[in-house]
Amino acid sequence: MTFRTMLHSLLAAAMLATCVEAGAEDIDPTQQQLCDTMYYYFDMGQRDRFIESNKRYMDYCLEHGNLKDYYIGWTNLIIFELNESNIYQAYRQALAMSRNIRERNADEYYYLSTSALGLIYADCNNLEGARQCFLETLEEQRRLRMTDDLAPVYMDLAYVTIDKNPAEALEWATKAKLISADDNALCDASAFKGMLEFKQRNYPAFLDSYRQYKELERRGKTSIYGKFIEIYHACYKRDFRQALRKADSLSSPLDRHDFLRQVYDYKGDSLQAYRVLRRQMDISDSLNSAILTDNLRGISNELEIAEAQRSEARHRIVTLYVFGIAAVLLIMGLAYHIYNRRKFTKQLEAGHSQLLKAYDQLEETTTAKERIESELRIARDIQMSMVPSRFPERRGLDLYASMTPAREVGGDLYDYILQDQKLYFCVGDVSGKGVPASLLMAQAIRLFRALAKQGLPPAQIATRLNEELSENNENGMFVTMFIALADLTDGHLWFCNAGHNPPVIGGGQDNGHFVDMEPNAPIGLWPGLSYVGEEIASISRRPLFVYTDGLTEAENLGQQQFGDGRLLQTLRRTNFESARQVISQLSREVEAHRGGAEPSDDLTMLCLKIDNNK
């Protein structure tokens, strides 16, 4: 599940409820006004005004000895940073809050620190780490007999266990529902519990939870999960048009694509579910890249501060040294001179020690950066060594391919095996990018080579690959592949397309067209599939061009894609001289289309021509 900001809002709502409850007895009017202002800017997402109002609220609470409200304000600052995807800043605030609690010996508020840390782990998709933090929070609250605040923690535990252990998640949601102190919390718990029951196909229990949620809604109560349970209810009624309309209205791109995919799954439309999954993974990659950029920016800022401090230390040492020499010349021989000289020496030694420490830290940082860059270069070299760099020099066969990763390492692949008059070849595209994609790419190439050497037809190779890669595939990664076997004596081609882009075959009356193919599923998603193979009587003297979507989806600065039409037009006007010349021409066309824009995906191309008359 994705409902990313829901988890943040859940704890923020609990914090607000705590402040409102206390307001009836303990909070004076000034503190209540500061609290209302802080949560107003929190809900509006106005960063500068929220941070300013949050600081005034925390300072007021600290000045009047209200430590619990002080740490609640700090927790809301952490939640706000998470909502803004500033994970690095949120983590720093959580550590600072934990240190402050220890320094003040305020152990009774330590549960707020562990709960905030659990949110950070959940945001980084470390659900087991988040679960341990929330369990520690629960144990601490039970020890302090804080039974009124347990419902939000139960909901947090349900959220982080929903995918790995749905039964445990349902148990936590049931507990939250049983102890909900007010109708709003009960409305949340009923909706969330109903969602879990629907995912487990327990429809009678789902309908009971849905009816309770609707009854509370009619009484004016609201739930942050209301839109989601309405989507599930529409699926239950088989009203998929209504379900898709509600899913498409969700504001979060990740939530929208996640629920669209679920609706298509319940509808049985696997092809649409797969397309939505591809878009969802692209959006997730973009968000992860933005989060990584923010974290690196925070580290870079700290390095700049450290460098400024080192520069100031060097300047201070030089200044002290100059004044020290002047003092030695002016008051040499006097007792006062001896006193000042000793004092100066101690300061100089301390400054020198700080300078050495700063240089050591800079050296460690530089070494770590160089090590990471070196490891990525090695990984790229290893990956590039796994695909062929030399191609057969054989009469009647012209074969050439190239692969250009968008990052240091990528997920595209190509390979060929030549056995007497039989040529096996493939082109593939792994979902996602970076190191995880490169690992799946390596496994796919290894399995392809082993199965091709057994002389299996392409459809059986695809079926066997799917059996191996779908086993224990908890991350849901997959690979699209075009697998083919060509007979060099007569040009006969057997092939199997597993969710990949259709290749282009040249010649004919239209001077080239896309090959019509059976729409098999991608490899690695669903076990137990039998892939369908196809064949072409002869491709002799007709170039065959196979590629990944990094070619047709290459974008320029205006986000316009290269497209299928431009690809076909370029190939039709390119006079075939050699397979290498065709790929070089396409590479130049794509580079010119980008116009300086960074590539967003790996780009792989393979061109083949058989001429058995040579």
**What are the pLDDT digits (tens) for 62-98?**
898 888 889 888 988 888 887 777 877 888 888 888 8
pLDDT above 60: residue 154: yes
Residues 409, 406: Cα–Cα separation, whole Å:
8
pLDDT tens readout for residues 464-520: 999 999 888 877 889 999 999 999 999 999 999 999 999 999 987 888 999 999 889
Domain interval for residue 371:
293-384
Higher model confidence: residue 195 or residue 477?
A: 477
Considering the domain boundaries, does residue 363 fall inside one?
yes
How much is the pLDDT for 489? 93
Among the residue ranges 204-218, 330-344, 418-432, 442-456, the one predicted with the least confidence is 330-344
Q: How far apart, in Å, do the first and last CA atoms of the chain sit?
A: 58
Running DSSP on this structure, what letter comes out for residue 394?
B
Residues 429, 581: Cα–Cα separation, whole Å:
23
The mean pLDDT value for 151-173 works out to 73
Q: Are 560 and 600 in contact (CB under 8 A)?
A: no
pLDDT above 50: residue 291: no
Higher model confidence: residue 269 or residue 588?
A: 588
Provide the number of structural domains found in the chain. Answer: 4
The mean pLDDT value for 274-296 works out to 59
Q: Are 193 and 173 in contact (CB under 8 A)?
A: yes
Among the residue ranges 351-360, 434-443, 465-474, the one predicted with the least confidence is 351-360
Residues 124 and 35 in one domain: yes
Residues 351 and 246 in one domain: no
pLDDT above 90: residue 423: yes
Among the residue ranges 109-123, 294-308, 343-357, 409-423, the one predicted with the least confidence is 294-308
Residues 515 and 550 in one domain: yes
Alpha helices (runs of H) in 471-553, residue ranges in sequence order: 549-552
Highest mean pLDDT among 80-84, 125-129, 169-173, 301-305: 80-84
Indicate the average pLDDT of the chain: 79
pLDDT above 80: residue 418: yes
Query: What backbone torsions phi and psi does residue 90 show, to the nearest 5 degrees?
Result: -60, -40
Among the residue ranges 39-53, 314-328, 510-524, the one predicted with the least confidence is 314-328
Domain boundary among 127, 150, 181: 181
pLDDT above 60: residue 12: no
Beta bridge partners of 535: 494
Give exposure, 385-409, as e/b (b: 16+ Cβ within 10 Å): eebbeebeeeebbbbbbbbebbbbb
Considering the domain boundaries, does residue 436 fall inside one?
yes
How much is the pLDDT for 401? 96
Query: What backbone torsions phi and psi does residue 546 show, to the nearest 5 degrees?
Result: -115, 145
Domain boundary among 181, 204, 222: 181
Residues 155 and 172 in one domain: yes
The mean pLDDT value for 247-265 works out to 78
Residues 386, 603: Cα–Cα separation, whole Å:
16
Residue 77 exposure: Cα atoms within 13 Å on the Cβ side? 26
Residues 152, 506: Cα–Cα separation, whole Å:
63
Neighbours of 82 (CB within 10 A): 25
Residues 505 and 374 in one domain: no
Considering the domain boundaries, does residue 312 fall inside one?
yes
Considering the domain boundaries, does residue 277 fall inside one?
no
Higher model confidence: residue 197 or residue 184?
A: 197
Give exposure, 43-78, as e/b (b: 16+ Cβ within 10 Å): eeeeeeebeebbeebbebbeeeebbbbbbbbbbbbb
Residues 143, 130: Cα–Cα separation, whole Å:
20
